[in-house]
């Protein structure tokens, strides 16, 4: 299975450029190399396009309820910081509650992704992210695994070595945060940890 996962990761690597989530309903994956003070992570970032069922009226509340029921504590509703930052001690789960935004993932050599209300993104510990643009009504619901208090770092070369050690200690979730069971995390992240 590890060979399959290794081949899959090679297919998931994207060159720099702009990408729009929501082109299909299937989870989409991106990997990033370390970049200018951003350690990134060998685990792929997972985008869940159109994660919210179409009949849901309050998208943000749906994300908060779903995340909480799967042991991810919703912590905030807010736009994403307009500067590159990352969390070396925890993975971060975003649910796009309203509007749209263009987010740069992976640092300055990463990839810009346009996300819309209803999309969700699982950002592995250490992966840089920043909001480049967005609609006036844009905000995301941010959540972290239960019991985790995120540390936020900016792209600073002095922090990379300590951050890499912290990233290695972050556990992979047992279940997919959107399904609560099998899903992108169990299918992609788990084989990479074995």
Residue 158's alpha-carbon distances to 47, 75, 105, 164, in angstroms, are: 30, 28, 20, 11
Between the two ends of the chain, the Cα-to-Cα distance in Å is: 9
Is the pLDDT at 3 greater than 50, yes or no? no
pLDDT of residue 193: 78
pLDDT of residue 60: 98
The CA distance from 18 to 43, in Å, is 20
How remote is the C-alpha of 18 from its chain's centroid? 16
Percent of the chain residues topping a pLDDT of 90: 82
Residue 75's alpha-carbon distances to 35, 105, 141, in angstroms, are: 28, 21, 7
pLDDT, one tens digit per residue, over 76-130 is: 999 999 999 999 999 999 999 999 999 999 999 999 999 999 999 999 999 999 9
Element (H, E) at 100: strand 100-105
Q: How confident is the model at residue 191 (pLDDT cuts 50, 70, 90)?
A: very high
Say which residues have a Cβ less than 8 Å from residue 161's Cβ, sequence separation at least 6.
Answer: none
pLDDT, one tens digit per residue, over 22-33 is: 556 799 999 999
pLDDT of residue 2: 35
The candidate with the shortest Cα–Cα distance to 92, out of 49, 125, 50, 70, is: 125
Contact, 29 vs 44, CB < 8 A?
A: yes
Phi-psi region of 24 (alpha: psi -120 to 50; beta: other; left: phi over 0): beta
* Mean of all residue pLDDT scores within the chain: 89
Percent of the chain residues topping a pLDDT of 70: 87
The CA distance from 8 to 6, in Å, is 5
pLDDT, one tens digit per residue, over 47-71 is: 999 999 999 999 999 999 999 999 9
Tell me how many domains the chain contains.
1
Say which residues have a Cβ less than 8 Å from residue 100's Cβ, sequence separation at least 6.
Answer: 114, 115, 116, 117, 134, 135, 138
pLDDT of residue 6: 39
Residue 35 structural domain? 2-193
pLDDT of residue 24: 60
Q: How confident is the model at residue 21 (pLDDT cuts 50, 70, 90)?
A: low
pLDDT of residue 192: 87
Q: 123: domain CATH number?
A: 2.60.120.10
Say how many C-beta atoms besides its own lie within 10 A of residue 7's C-beta: 10
User: Looking at residues 150-179, what average pLDDT do you find?
Assistant: 94
């Amino acid at each position: 299975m590890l060979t399959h996962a290794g081949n899959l990761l090679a297919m998931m690597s994207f060159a720099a450029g702009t990408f729009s989530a929501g082109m299909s309903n299937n989870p989409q994956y991106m990997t990033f190399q370390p970049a200018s003070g951003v350690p990134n992570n060998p685990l792929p970032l997972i985008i869940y396009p159109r994660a919210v069922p179409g009949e849901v009226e309050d998208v943000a509340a749906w994300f908060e309820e779903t995340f909480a029921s799967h042991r991810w504590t919703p912590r905030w509703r807010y736009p994403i910081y307009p500067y590159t930052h990352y969390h070396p001690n925890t993975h971060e789960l975003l649910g796009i509650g309203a509007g749209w935004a263009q987010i740069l993932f992976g640092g300055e050599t990463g990839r810009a992704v346009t996300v819309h209300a209803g999309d969700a993104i699982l950002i592995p510990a250490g992966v840089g992210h920043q909001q480049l643009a967005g609609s006036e009504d844009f905000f995301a619901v941010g959540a972290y695994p239960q019991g985790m208090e995120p540390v936020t770092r900016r792209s600073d070369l002095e922090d990379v070595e300590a951050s890499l050690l912290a990233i290695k200690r972050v556990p992979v979730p047992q279940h997919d945060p959107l399904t609560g069971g099998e899903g992108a995390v169990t299918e992609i992240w788990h084989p990479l940890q074995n």
